[in-house]
Amino acid sequence: MVIIIAAALIYLGYKSQISLVYYLSGAVSLFLLIIVLQFFRDPVRQLPESSDSLVYSPADGKIVVIEKVFEKEYLKQECWQVSVFMSPLNVHINRNPVNGKVEYTKYHPGDYLVAWHPKSSELNERFTSVYSTHTGQKILVRQIAGALARRIENYLEDGQEVRQGEEMGFIKFGSRADIFLPLDANIKVEMGQHVKSPLDIIADL
């Protein structure tokens, strides 16, 4: 779609026979293409050393929430919530934070509040995935659409065995990932810290 829009802009600029309009339409088209390529880039990253005690970041971005909350969708208990905000400049591929089995997946339609809004975790379009680790602990990851993100991709299936660092989904444009962890987890990140997936450790179980 973006390629079609860019081509149309260049064509209209050419047909106008005005040099300024032609060069301006070309510049706008190039800008649009660069932005889209930025969103969809997939850098090669080495998978982390496998560990059943470490939880790696499922997303690139900035830590915007570290707090104790009651997770009411599936875990039904008080947990640590750590949230990673993905700006339009971040890589938007999401990766498995732990080794284990996928126990639960569910898509929720919803609104498109800005991703850092306190209610976005409950009201926005979102996809919930629950992992059961090899040590029996449950980790919930919620992919949340933002004001620009209008499509969440999730590749997981119930019962699937997964490995840390492998791709689990994708969110188009600005968005957020919430990670819900047991209360005895040792949180390894701080508010405002920038993390990369799957390179940075969120917590030690």
Angle between helices 2-16 and 19-39 (to 10 degrees): 170
pLDDT of 38 reads 57
Q: Class of the 54-204 domain?
A: mainly beta
Sequence spans of domains, the chain:
2-39, 54-204
pLDDT of 13 reads 45
The two structure tokens encoding residue 185: 């987890």
pTM, 2 dp: 0.80
pLDDT of 11 reads 43
For 84-107, the pLDDT digits (tens) are: 998 878 888 999 999 999 999 999
Asked if the model's pLDDT at residue 14 lies above 50, the reply is no
Asked if the model's pLDDT at residue 173 lies above 90, the reply is no
Indicate if 29 belongs to the active site: no
Spatial contact of 201 and 179, defined as CB atoms under 8 Å apart: no
Give the closest residue to 84 by CA, choosing from 185, 201, 154, 178.
178
Beta-bridge partner residues of 100: 162
Of 22 and 92, the one with more pLDDT = 92
pLDDT band at 10 (very low <50, low <70, confident <90, very high): very low
User: Which listed residue (25, 83, 175, 197) is catalytic?
Assistant: 175
Dist. CA 172–CA 69, nearest whole Å: 27
pLDDT of 140 reads 98
Asked if the model's pLDDT at residue 29 lies above 80, the reply is no
| Chain mean pLDDT for the chain | 82
Asked if the model's pLDDT at residue 159 lies above 90, the reply is yes
